[in-house]
Structure 1
Amino acid sequence: KQSHKLNSPTTITVPLQFIIILACAFSFIFIIVLICCIAIILKHRKKRKLNRYGEKLISQTCHTDNNHNQLKLQIPCCNNIEKDTQSSNRSQSSYGAPSSSEPSTFSGTPKLLARNKCLPSTTFHHPQSVKLLSTNGIDSEANFYASTDIISVNNGTNDLSSTLRGVCGTNLMIRSITNVPQMIMPPRKVELISSEIVPPGDLYGEGRFGQISIGNVYSYNRIIIRRLTKVSTMSRSLFAQESQLLCSIDHPNLANILYKTLDGLALVSEYTELGDLCLLMRRIVENDVNARLDYQAMLFVTCQISSALSYLESRQLIHRDVSTRNCLVFNDYIIKLTDIAMASPIYSNYYSTEAHLPVRWMSPEILINGGNSYSIKSDVYSFGITLYEIMITCRILPFAHLSDQEILLSPPLSTDLDITFIDRIQLKEIIDLMFACLRINHHERPTFQDIHRFLYQQQQTQSN
């Protein structure tokens, strides 16, 4: 019997408490690993976001000319003006396209001048056959829009930062105070939807009273949602004023308002999976440090931007943050100007830390005289810096050798720009245009009407 007891198997009983403790320990370890993974993902989120933007567009619309390291666009038709004409049922001449018999040109690229000297003037030709954009009224057949926070101001203020940002953190557009009669904007039907349909979305940026997020509504995969989060009488009034103008204007090269909520606390506007032009070009340089857009691609892009700004000019509207980061890139390389970059933390280093000002894109008269100096010609200056960004493929910041404080204390000249990366022979016409836009005397800068006319003619010449 004793031998039988010794050979029988021994049963080990594990206490239930031990199993619970072991499970808790494994759960704790799993949670720690998960938190570490999330931290790593958030740490590299900015870089991954940059890689995501533009990757699809590069593979679908660009190919490299190995002989010159130029990115050429595989666009169906290098003529966005024809697309605009079809969408608005207007004659092509209404965009200010010059006839071939009377060329319009920007000449006289300045040499490296002393900082206290002005740039040479440029002569513009106005062909008689051109129908200029009207400032006395609006074409009943036109269908325009600008995706921006817009508000009319009277005398303004010398404090640059006091009225620059809108309710949701975007740059706040203003109306130019001139003696030119203001254009009456006909109402545009914007579909009203329930606020329950609008998702919270992924946070893009925040302002004083609201925030911007990216989500999807109905068949739109990527949309921008402007939402008032701090509701008060004042914030409601400001947001309603912005919304009223946003829903009444329209243009094919400005991001479109799609929906407005019934409670008036949110707006839904166009966005794109491809991101903005600045992120796209930075991605191009990341893939190939020597790559750049060719001349035809630059004309195709800049002609669309100038088309949008020419429309804003005709309605005496000042954008105040014209730059590649505010140019959304859609399929077929369609560009739509927007206003959301100021709200994005991605571009925090593009704005001065304290006042949140785009000082490297601001004209000298604003830096010297303050907010009262905002005008359409200050937008022309910003467009000149935008041309510079496109020509250097956003490799460096404008005036990269100067700090924000140095620019605020002593506004730089156009000759302070580093043009090492620019092909001065192939891009001579655009370089001339850039320097014309960057003149110290704002009265000597061209109008957007002239700029668009010139770029259109250059585009037509390259297409033939």
Structure 2
Amino acid sequence: MLYSMPQSEHGSSHPLPYGPIYDVPKPLKNTDDVLHVMPESVIEIRDLGVGRFGMVSLAATVGLSFKDIRLGENDDKHRSLLVAIKKLSPDGGKNLRDSFEKEIKYMARLHHPNVVHLLGVCMVGTPFIMMEYMENGDLNEFLQKQNLVDDGVSLLQENEISPLVLLYMTVQIASGMRYLASQRVVHRDIATRNCLVGHDFVVKISDFGMSRKLYESFYYRVHGKLILPIRWMAYESFYGKFSVKSDVWAFGITMWEIHTLARYEPYHELIDEELIADAMKGDRRQRPARPAIVPDAIYDVMLRCWVHDPFMRGDFEEVYSRLFLAYTRMCQQCS
């Protein structure tokens, strides 16, 4: 059980339920913009995991061109594409189906190179959402397989990564989060486990659909049901306040994960109860120590993410701009 918490300036004295991943979206203008496919439009290859709605599987498209799913102008319907499908469990009930349909509406309006793209939906038989498939899996697992070297980009071997590439990945996530903020989308669970990696270190923000079971230990269970990612949460989120600014705090923790190659969970030196007690100290709360490979300019951005007062905390425009500038300068030094 969570510690008993004092009444705060944010209202409730108890944490609110950990709700859906998206919050207060702009309305979807045209639901017809979503590509509707049939069950025979995909052939399942293997299971990838268990998600919030049911099984998540790797599949291949059948009779759908790149143009059909808006990934290019190629209209060859004989060319198959690997996709991820998130299926709705048949015994999930009305509430789960409502959440499933709500996610479709939210995801359908998001179009950014660093946000996983909804490709289509099937609402007959066993309903499923068809998403981009990122061949290198989630960023947390990907980072743990890497060895850090200082060879720029061109000389990297398999399972090698450099500080420049780590910053490149960080900039991509910042770009995606800046976009989500512009769309009034509050992610609520940004972390390396919820980012996916494709070819050439391309990173895209995802939801927690494929990783909740795998990363169950990263969440704190309240009253046996509610789960909270407390090691990524800003102070105000312990009182149920999630916003773009609480996403900024969590992004700072995500930056820290990236630059430690996800070898440790945040605040790994504290057990859950100690972390909660420390978080209640407000502005006197501990901040994660600077990773050894992180220069002052990058750690300064992390610290801007971890300002206690959300009104004084950096926003994603500032964070992205500072990271992009740091990346540009590092590229110049490597050339």
Q: Equivalent residue for 1:270? A: 132
Q: Equivalent residue for 1:227? A: 88
Relative to structure 1, is the Cα distance of residues 239 and 341 closer, same or farther in structure 2, using a 3 angstrom cutoff?
Answer: closer
Q: Equivalent residue for 2:17? A: 162
Q: Equivalent residue for 2:233? A: 362
1:423 aligns with 2:293: yes
In structure 1, C-alpha distance between the alignment counterparts of 2:41 and 2:11, rounded to whole Å? 38
Q: Equivalent residue for 2:181? A: 313
Relative to structure 1, is the Cα distance of residues 356 and 199 closer, same or farther in structure 2, using a 3 angstrom cutoff?
Answer: farther
On the 8 A contact 2:167/2:327 being kept in 1, the answer is yes
In structure 1, C-alpha distance between the alignment counterparts of 2:273 and 2:97, rounded to whole Å? 35
Deviation at 1:450, TM superposition (A): 1.2
Report the 3-state secondary structure (helix = DSSP H, G, I; strand = E; otherwise coil) of the residue aligned with 1:191: coil
1:217 aligns with 2:60: yes
Relative to structure 1, is the Cα distance of residues 405 and 199 closer, same or farther in structure 2, using a 3 angstrom cutoff?
Answer: farther
Matching residue's letter, 2:17? S
In structure 2, C-alpha distance between the alignment counterparts of 1:416 and 1:386, rounded to whole Å? 13
Deviation at 1:428, TM superposition (A): 1.2
In structure 1, C-alpha distance between the alignment counterparts of 2:301 and 2:246, rounded to whole Å? 15
Report the 3-state secondary structure (helix = DSSP H, G, I; strand = E; otherwise coil) of the residue aligned with 1:339: coil
Encode CA deviations 1:122-146: one digit per residue, 9 max, x unaligned.
xxxxxxxxxxxxxxxxxxxxxxxxx
Larger Cα Rg: Structure 1 or Structure 2? Answer: 1
Deviation at 1:188, TM superposition (A): 7.1
Deviation at 1:384, TM superposition (A): 0.5
Q: TM-score, normalised by structure 1?
A: 0.56
Deviates more, 1:194-203 or 1:319-328: 194-203
In structure 1, C-alpha distance between the alignment counterparts of 2:100 and 2:160, rounded to whole Å? 40
In structure 1, C-alpha distance between the alignment counterparts of 2:107 and 2:14, rounded to whole Å? 25
In structure 2, C-alpha distance between the alignment counterparts of 1:217 and 1:332, rounded to whole Å? 22
Encode CA deviations 1:187-222: one digit per residue, 9 max, x unaligned.
573321113444564151243xx3131221312334
Deviation at 1:348, TM superposition (A): 1.4
Report the 3-state secondary structure (helix = DSSP H, G, I; strand = E; otherwise coil) of the residue aligned with 1:336: strand
Relative to structure 1, is the Cα distance of residues 338 and 286 closer, same or farther in structure 2, using a 3 angstrom cutoff?
Answer: same
In structure 1, C-alpha distance between the alignment counterparts of 2:232 and 2:313, rounded to whole Å? 15
1:451 aligns with 2:319: yes
Q: Equivalent residue for 1:22? A: none
In structure 1, C-alpha distance between the alignment counterparts of 2:87 and 2:273, rounded to whole Å? 32
1:174 aligns with 2:23: yes
Instruction: Name structure 1 gaps, 5 residues minimum.
Output: 1-154, 167-171, 177-181
Relative to structure 1, is the Cα distance of residues 199 and 159 closer, same or farther in structure 2, using a 3 angstrom cutoff?
Answer: farther
Matching residue's letter, 1:347? Y
On the 8 A contact 1:292/1:392 being kept in 2, the answer is no
1:405 aligns with 2:254: no
On the 8 A contact 2:87/2:128 being kept in 1, the answer is yes
Matching residue's letter, 1:162? P
Given candidates 220, 230, 238, the residue that maps to 1:352 is 220
Relative to structure 1, is the Cα distance of residues 163 and 389 closer, same or farther in structure 2, using a 3 angstrom cutoff?
Answer: closer
In structure 1, C-alpha distance between the alignment counterparts of 2:315 and 2:29, rounded to whole Å? 22
Deviation at 1:408, TM superposition (A): 2.4
Relative to structure 1, is the Cα distance of residues 244 and 296 closer, same or farther in structure 2, using a 3 angstrom cutoff?
Answer: same
Relative to structure 1, is the Cα distance of residues 259 and 283 closer, same or farther in structure 2, using a 3 angstrom cutoff?
Answer: same
Deviation at 1:299, TM superposition (A): 2.4
Given candidates 18, 23, 38, the residue that maps to 1:194 is 38
Report the 3-state secondary structure (helix = DSSP H, G, I; strand = E; otherwise coil) of the residue aligned with 2:88: strand
On the 8 A contact 2:187/2:247 being kept in 1, the answer is yes
Encode CA deviations 1:425-454: one digit per residue, 9 max, x unaligned.
xx1111000011011111111110111112
Given candidates 253, 258, 262, the residue that maps to 1:390 is 258
Output the aligned Cα RMSD: 3.0
On the 8 A contact 2:169/2:203 being kept in 1, the answer is yes
On the 8 A contact 1:215/1:225 being kept in 2, the answer is no
Q: Equivalent residue for 1:204? A: 49
On the 8 A contact 1:186/1:248 being kept in 2, the answer is no
Q: Equivalent residue for 2:77? A: none
On the 8 A contact 1:161/1:356 being kept in 2, the answer is no
On the 8 A contact 1:341/1:347 being kept in 2, the answer is no
Deviates more, 1:373-382 or 1:188-197: 188-197
On the 8 A contact 1:325/1:341 being kept in 2, the answer is no
In structure 2, C-alpha distance between the alignment counterparts of 1:156 and 1:399, rounded to whole Å? 27
1:338 aligns with 2:233: no
Deviation at 1:403, TM superposition (A): 1.2
In structure 1, C-alpha distance between the alignment counterparts of 2:27 and 2:51, rounded to whole Å? 32
Matching residue's letter, 2:55? I
Q: Equivalent residue for 2:97? A: 236
Matching residue's letter, 1:205? V
Relative to structure 1, is the Cα distance of residues 461 and 286 closer, same or farther in structure 2, using a 3 angstrom cutoff?
Answer: closer
Higher share of residues assigned helix: 1
Relative to structure 1, is the Cα distance of residues 462 and 206 closer, same or farther in structure 2, using a 3 angstrom cutoff?
Answer: closer
On the 8 A contact 1:183/1:315 being kept in 2, the answer is no
Deviation at 1:393, TM superposition (A): 1.3
Relative to structure 1, is the Cα distance of residues 158 and 251 closer, same or farther in structure 2, using a 3 angstrom cutoff?
Answer: farther
1:377 aligns with 2:245: yes
On the 8 A contact 1:254/1:336 being kept in 2, the answer is yes
Relative to structure 1, is the Cα distance of residues 296 and 206 closer, same or farther in structure 2, using a 3 angstrom cutoff?
Answer: closer
Matching residue's letter, 1:202? D
Q: Percent identity?
A: 26
Q: Equivalent residue for 1:301? A: 169
In structure 2, C-alpha distance between the alignment counterparts of 1:321 and 1:396, rounded to whole Å? 18
